[in-house]
């Protein structure tokens, strides 16, 4: 059985991802060489920003946070506490010479199961949320189970709604996928949502941000980090290689693994597994600076990537 979940951009963890990446984009707009590592935590009327920023520019953090909340559909009447300091010189000395901003393992993946080249269970879970009927959201989650025959075994939809709302449109949406079982707002009510009922944190949705639980994760989150952090840039490059190899070799699936040591430019591991056959990656420049240039990662493109998943939405690393 294969299973995956997806969440809307109104889910509290994804709100925090978007805040972190909106701040990153604003720094990059004004200073493309900004180094940013911003974590956002939020809940119950408070947004807390903490992290490291080295930039030639200053931004209005409060204005950006409130703009993100309004765009998603939430109240911007929140208290904002910021604790952003300069990047540690112990880290920056390695990055200044072109080395990786941290050690870590990055995973890339592509398969031929759908137009987004991602696992089908995640593709369908995302698609369901994109089809939510009017009046549901902005906070919602879906979950899909696919059996070994490729049939949909179950669909779960939990979507915020007004008090007294009719769930029939959600039921109809779930049944359009012909599942064996459906679960629609299983607790019976989902009126209070977002930061009124829950707390969120940047990076807490790394599995659905990537490829779902079928594919391993390297462990590092993406949002709030500029591209000198290989957690992000090398994961994007790994996806690019996976897509390229899928097409080049006419494969069913490709898994990429890249590992780095902090302060060192060349990876300690660069391996492709193409339809379960291993291949060393030698045809791409995997130094962080080369990746940044190849994928144009000094541009403010990250806020959009934080909204509905980082792969399969037509980004530069998706084709």
Q: Please tell me the total count of domains within the chain.
A: 3
Contact by Cβ (8 Å): 24, 224: yes
Interatomic CA distance for residues 216 and 106, integer angstroms? 10
Residue 24 CB neighbours (<10 A): 27
Q: What is the pLDDT of residues 92-141, one digit of tens each?
A: 555 666 778 678 999 999 999 999 999 999 999 999 999 999 999 999 99
| Average pLDDT for 132-156 | 96
Q: What is the mean pLDDT of the chain?
A: 94
Examine the domain organization and report whether 50 and 149 are in the same domain: no
Angle at 238 between CA 233 and CA 243, to 5 degrees: 130
In-domain check, residue 123: yes
Examine the domain organization and report whether 180 and 210 are in the same domain: no
Contact by Cβ (8 Å): 122, 3: no
Angle at 318 between CA 312 and CA 319, to 5 degrees: 130
pLDDT score at 96: 62
In-domain check, residue 222: no
Examine the domain organization and report whether 143 and 109 are in the same domain: no
Antiparallel, parallel or unpaired: β 152-159 and 140-146: antiparallel
Examine the domain organization and report whether 213 and 297 are in the same domain: yes
| Average pLDDT for 179-187 | 96
Examine the domain organization and report whether 210 and 303 are in the same domain: yes
Residue 302's domain comprises 104-115+205-217+227-318
Question: Does pLDDT of 186 surpass 80?
Answer: yes
Q: pLDDT category, 54, cuts 50, 70, 90?
A: very high
Question: Does pLDDT of 283 surpass 70?
Answer: yes
Number of H helices and E strands in the chain, helices first, is: 9, 12
pLDDT score at 190: 85
Examine the domain organization and report whether 110 and 241 are in the same domain: yes
Contact by Cβ (8 Å): 237, 297: no
């Amino acid at each position: 059985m294969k299973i995956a979940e997806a969440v809307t951009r109104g889910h509290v963890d994804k709100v925090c991802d978007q805040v972190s990446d909106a701040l990153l984009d604003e720094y990059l707009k004004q200073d493309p060489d900004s180094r940013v590592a911003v974590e956002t935590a939020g809940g119950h009327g408070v947004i807390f920003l903490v992290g490291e920023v080295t930039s030639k520019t200053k931004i209005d953090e409060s204005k950006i946070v409130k703009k993100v909340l309004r765009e998603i559909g939430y109240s911007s009447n929140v208290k904002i506490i910021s604790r952003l300091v300069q990047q540690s010189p112990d880290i920056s000395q390695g990055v200044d010479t072109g080395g990786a901003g941290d050690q870590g393992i990055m995973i890339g993946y592509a398969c031929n199961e759908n137009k987004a080249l991602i696992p089908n269970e995640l593709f369908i879970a995302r698609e369901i949320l994109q089809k939510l009927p009017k009046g549901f959201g902005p906070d919602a989650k879906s979950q899909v189970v696919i059996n070994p025959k490729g049939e949909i075994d179950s669909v779960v939809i939990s979507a915020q709604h007004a008090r007294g709302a009719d769930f029939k449109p959600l039921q109809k949406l779930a049944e359009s996928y012909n599942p064996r079982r459906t679960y629609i707002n299983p607790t019976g009510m989902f009126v209070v949502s977002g930061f009124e009922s829950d707390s969120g944190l940047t990076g807490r949705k790394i599995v659905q941000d990537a490829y779902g639980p079928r594919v391993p994760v390297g462990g590092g989150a993406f949002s709030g980090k500029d591209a000198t952090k290989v957690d992000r840039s090398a994961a994007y490059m790994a996806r690019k290689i996976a897509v390229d190899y899928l097409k080049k070799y006419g494969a069913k699936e490709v898994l990429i693994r890249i590992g780095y040591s902090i302060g060192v430019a060349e990876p300690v591991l660069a391996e492709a597994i193409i339809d379960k056959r291993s291949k060393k990656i030698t045809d791409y420049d995997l130094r962080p600076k080369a990746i940044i240039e190849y994928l144009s990662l000094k541009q403010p493109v990250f806020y959009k990537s934080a909204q509905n998943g980082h792969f399969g939405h037509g980004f530069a690393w998706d084709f």
